[in-house]
Amino acid sequence: MSTLLEQLRAGLPADAVVTDPDVLRSYAQDMAGFCEAGAAAVLVLPRTVEEVRHTMRTATELRVPVVPQGARTGLSGGATATEGCIVLSMLRMNQILEIDPVERIAVVEPGVVNATLSRAVGEHGLFYPPDPSSWEECTIGGNIGTASGGLCCVKYGVTAEYVLGLDVVLADGRLMSTGRRTVKGVAGYDLTRLLVGSEGSLGIVVRATLALRPQPPQQLVVAAEFPTMASAGEAVCRIMERGHAPSLLEIMDRTTLRAVNDMARMGLPESTEALLLAAFDSPEPAGELAAVGELCAAAGASEVLPADDPAESEMLLQARRLALVALEKVTGTTLIDDVCVPRGQLAAMLDGAQAIGEKYGLTVGSCAHAGDGNTHPIVCFDPTDEDEARRARESFDEIMALGLELGGTITGEHGVGVLKKEWLAREIGPVGLELQRGIKQVFDPLGLLNPGKLF
């Protein structure tokens, strides 16, 4: 241990090597707080690429596992500390190095907060689309690690679509560049895309070149209330089938609406089974909003409410962003599923999640990126009640099983972490798993990078 600290300190400033047990404990977990963490040996907070390289060289020499972290807003335990590990927090590497409106790229360090980048590029008339609900806190490095999505991905795609190139420190401290600064590039295997979503298990991202888009006009929202989830699901299918390109298409169920009202007194309708929000950011969205309103009515909506202005639209979106926090207040803790299903199975998935909640006697509220089929059934439970915690875990699993049965995936955007390890194996099968392990072995032969995550 003293060897580890001495060697780390030999190449790092004093304030970058933290051993205070209280601080270490505060870095032990991400938002999946119920995932059991080990006691880290040390927290390292590098400011430079060279400091990351020194940390990894030391880790390799002494065979110490390393758990990389961003803002720890992850929901699958992908950043949970393991016993005796180095927690490598990238928060201090938070510089935006370049924004180029001609090339439409930004070059950033991994600790840059998503919202900080979004605002900075906005000043140049540019747009970085991936917008996880935690966008005010989460970092670009963390977004890359988990291949994050968000609300506007239904039109603009997920993080993977926006990462052009990476600088990566490998397990042994070597520095590698992948990808490019150019729009296109197909030189060799796409290591950039392989690293996106690898949850810190293949290397430490120390710099990212990101693609940007021109900023679209502000979006306007139409809301529609439905008497059943099936009719809301029907509306989603018709909207997509007709070729509409909403910049957002979200669903909240009655449980979620009530929880948001309880917390924020937003006056959302609680008598409805599903509230659908559709937004358009085209220059003249009126026609699209009206057409979508009609499709909703035809599918059985009891009420269609176009927002009158951007402020009212923003209020509705705010309600959606609060869903998780509001449901957490119900019982103290939540398990958040992240099942993405074909759009045609959206209602079956959400109705099924509710039925599973009833079966286990638990509150399950759902919201969903409906246009993507990406559902987030949220299981509320009291972690101090052992039986309730067990039932929560079982219903969480049953929801994933239903997702696979409906032709979906166990994770649309949150990643696998420690929470869904067995489920990854179940989804991708033994051959895929063998190849994934083989790739891990190529990048990290000693198995030091974020051990125990993914598989």
Residue from the set 167, 253, 372, 398 that interacts with a copy of itself by CB under 8 A? 372
- Report how far residue 226's alpha carbon sits from residue 301's, in angstroms, rounded to the nearest whole number: 4
Smallest distance, Å, CB 317 to a copy of itself?
19
Q: Are 390 and 312 in contact (CB under 8 A)?
A: no
Beta bridge partners of 250: 277
The encoded tokens of residue 248 equal: 């957002």
Q: Which is nearer to a copy of itself, 21 or 188 (CB)?
A: 188
- Residue 348 lies near a copy of itself (rule: CB under 8 A): no
Residue from the set 118, 231, 411, 450 that interacts with a copy of itself by CB under 8 A? 411
Residues 224-243 that bind a copy of itself (CB under 8 A): 237, 240-241, 243
Smallest distance, Å, CB 399 to a copy of itself?
15
In which element (H, E) is residue 253 found? strand 248-253
- Residue 214 lies near a copy of itself (rule: CB under 8 A): yes
Residue from the set 118, 133, 143, 178 that interacts with a copy of itself by CB under 8 A? 178
Residue from the set 186, 267, 309, 386 that interacts with a copy of itself by CB under 8 A? 186
- Residue 55 lies near a copy of itself (rule: CB under 8 A): no
Residue from the set 50, 136, 137, 161 that interacts with a copy of itself by CB under 8 A? 161
Binding residues for a copy of itself, how many (CB under 8 A)? 84
- Report how far residue 341's alpha carbon sits from residue 236's, in angstroms, rounded to the nearest whole number: 13
| Closest among 346, 106, 88 to 233, alpha carbons compared | 346
C-alpha torsion angle, residues 322, 323, 326, 332 (rounded to 10): -120
Q: Are 302 and 272 in contact (CB under 8 A)?
A: yes
- Residue 393 lies near a copy of itself (rule: CB under 8 A): no
Residue from the set 10, 14, 102, 311 that interacts with a copy of itself by CB under 8 A? 102
Mention every residue, 6+ apart, whose C-beta is less than 8 A from residue 30. Answer: 69, 72, 73, 74, 75, 76, 77, 78, 79, 80, 417
Mention every residue, 6+ apart, whose C-beta is less than 8 A from residue 40. Answer: 24, 27, 28, 67, 81, 82, 84, 85, 86, 87
Residues 413-442 that bind a copy of itself (CB under 8 A): 413-416, 420, 424, 427-429, 431-433, 435-436, 438-439, 441-442
Q: Which is nearer to a copy of itself, 109 or 413 (CB)?
A: 413
Question: Where does this chain touch a copy of itself (CB under 8 A) — which range of 3-11, 84-92, 260-268, 404-412?
Answer: 404-412
- Residue 198 lies near a copy of itself (rule: CB under 8 A): yes
**H-helix segments, 133-285:** 140-146, 153-156, 191-195, 229-241, 254-264
Smallest distance, Å, CB 97 to a copy of itself?
15
User: Strand (E) positions, 79-219?
Assistant: 86-89, 96-100, 105-108, 126-127, 163-169, 175-179, 204-211, 213-214
Q: Which is nearer to a copy of itself, 372 or 388 (CB)?
A: 372
Phi, psi (rounded to 5 degrees) for 263: -80, -45
Q: Which is nearer to a copy of itself, 3 or 441 (CB)?
A: 441
Residue from the set 4, 108, 171, 196 that interacts with a copy of itself by CB under 8 A? 196
- Residue 122 lies near a copy of itself (rule: CB under 8 A): no
Residues 284-343 that bind a copy of itself (CB under 8 A): 340-343
Q: Which is nearer to a copy of itself, 257 or 406 (CB)?
A: 406
- Residue 410 lies near a copy of itself (rule: CB under 8 A): yes
| Closest among 105, 38, 33 to 67, alpha carbons compared | 38
- Residue 153 lies near a copy of itself (rule: CB under 8 A): yes
Smallest distance, Å, CB 433 to a copy of itself?
8
Residue from the set 157, 300, 383, 451 that interacts with a copy of itself by CB under 8 A? 157
- Report how far residue 351's alpha carbon sits from residue 333's, in angstroms, rounded to the nearest whole number: 22
Q: Are 106 and 59 in contact (CB under 8 A)?
A: no
- Report how far residue 291's alpha carbon sits from residue 293's, in angstroms, rounded to the nearest whole number: 5
Smallest distance, Å, CB 386 to a copy of itself?
30
Residues comprising the chain, all counted = 455
Residue from the set 374, 376, 378, 391 that interacts with a copy of itself by CB under 8 A? 374
Q: Which is nearer to a copy of itself, 21 or 429 (CB)?
A: 429
Amino acid, single-letter form, for residue 25 = R
